């Protein structure tokens, strides 16, 4: 089916609010072509922009989050880390205007404090310049991990308790959710993982309690607008009960 046909089909049914993507397979994409892993990341960055632009332009859904750097990714070789940082900086410096033109509001989720200063400045600038975007909240999870997210909320709750602003019995699920860094976004309805592995790898934990998953063998640099639509179509065929029995 053509892209236009698929678009029409998914638009006819309820769409998710928040789609999150685990972009896996950059290294394998490069290796299969005899290229350095870094080339896979470069192509992966192009895919990120292509997909975000498509979602914003088509106003497919209002929240898109991509997992670009996890709290575990620090264990990679230094040259790969340096490359990823410079790629992210280049992305922030050179693509914010294009994002803004497409009504994209860029946000960062995670702890940027260990990143190089020039990267943090570029990200801050891009976030500030795109703050008015109305078509899509595009969140890049950077130095993010689900366990870090839950731990951050626990620490905030303890701070509030210590300063007498919150009693233990007042800490409800709703309140705890508000304290999560990831809680500023609606819970993801759909998590897509490319690259063939079927695991969460410490992405959203608390927020993914009722998330639907879509796993594909496609390596991230090869991921297309069409496959995004196929994932949405698959999602639309699911029955979501949220633990309840359907009336």
Which residue among 7, 20, 45, 228 contacts ligand FPP (CB under 6 A)? 45
Strands lying side by side in the sheet with 18-22 = 104-109, 136-144, 63-70, 18-22, 190-193, 212-215
Which segments of 71-205 are extended strands (E)? 104-109, 136-144, 190-193
Residue whose structure tokens are 């390596």? 219
Q: Does 48 bind ligand FPP (CB under 6 A)?
A: yes
Nearest C-alpha neighbor of 152 from the set 181, 124, 184, 130: 181
Per rule CB under 6 A, count of chain residues that contact ligand FPP: 19
Q: Which is nearer to ligand FPP, 8 or 82 (CB)?
A: 82
Q: Does 148 bind ligand FPP (CB under 6 A)?
A: no
Q: Phi and psi (nearest 5°) for 61?
A: -155, 160
**Residue with smallest beta-carbon separation from ligand FPP:** 27
**Across-strand partners of 4?**
none
Residues 178-197 that bind ligand FPP (CB under 6 A): 195
Q: Does 136 bind ligand FPP (CB under 6 A)?
A: no
Choices 17-25, 130-138, 168-176, 209-217 (CB under 6 A): range interacting with ligand FPP: 17-25
Under DSSP, the state recorded for 23 is -
Cβ contacts of 226 within 8 Å, gap of 6 or more: 3, 6
Q: Does 21 bind ligand FPP (CB under 6 A)?
A: no
Q: Which is nearer to ligand FPP, 25 or 62 (CB)?
A: 25
Find the catalytic residue in 26, 46, 73, 149. Answer: 73
Residues 70-109 that bind ligand FPP (CB under 6 A): 73, 87-88, 91
Judge whether 152 and 181 are in contact, CB under 8 Å: yes
Q: Is 73 annotated in the active site?
A: yes
Q: Which is nearer to ligand FPP, 6 or 228 (CB)?
A: 228
Q: Is 241 annotated in the active site?
A: no
What gap in Å lies between CA 146 and CA 177, rounded to an integer? 13
- How would DSSP label each residue in 229-243? HHHHHHHHTS---TT
Q: Which is nearer to ligand FPP, 139 or 157 (CB)?
A: 139
Q: Does 27 bind ligand FPP (CB under 6 A)?
A: yes
Point out which residues bind ligand FPP (CB under 6 A): 23-28, 41, 44-45, 48, 66, 68, 73, 87-88, 91, 140, 195, 220
Question: Which positions are catalytic?
Answer: 24, 73
């Amino acid at each position: 089916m053509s892209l236009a046909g698929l678009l029409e089909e998914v638009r006819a049914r309820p769409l998710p609010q928040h789609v999150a993507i685990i972009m896996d397979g950059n290294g394998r994409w490069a290796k299969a072509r005899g290229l350095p892993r870094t080339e896979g990341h470069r192509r992966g960055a192009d895919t990120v922009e292509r997909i975000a632009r498509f979602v914003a332009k088509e106003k497919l859904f209002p929240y898109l989050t991509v997992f670009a750097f996890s709290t575990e990714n620090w264990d990679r070789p230094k040259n790969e880390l340096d490359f990823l940082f410079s790629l992210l900086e280049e992305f922030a410096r050179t693509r914010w205007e294009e994002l803004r033109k497409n009504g994209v509001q860029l946000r960062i989720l995670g702890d940027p404090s260990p990143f190089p200063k020039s990267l943090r400045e570029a990200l801050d600038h891009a976030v500030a310049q795109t703050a008015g975007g109305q078509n899509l909240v595009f969140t890049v999870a950077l130095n993010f991990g689900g366990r870090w997210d839950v731990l951050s909320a626990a620490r905030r709750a303890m701070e509030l308790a210590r300063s007498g602003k919150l009693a233990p019995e007042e800490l409800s699920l709703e309140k705890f959710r508000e304290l999560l860094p990831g809680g500023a976004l609606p819970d993801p309805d759909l998590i897509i993982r490319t690259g063939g592995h079927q695991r969460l790898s410490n992405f959203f934990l608390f927020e993914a309690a009722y998330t639907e998953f879509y796993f594909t063998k496609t390596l991230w640099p090869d991921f297309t607008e069409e496959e995004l639509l196929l994932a949405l179509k698959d999602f639309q065929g699911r029955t979501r009960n949220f633990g309840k029995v359907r009336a």
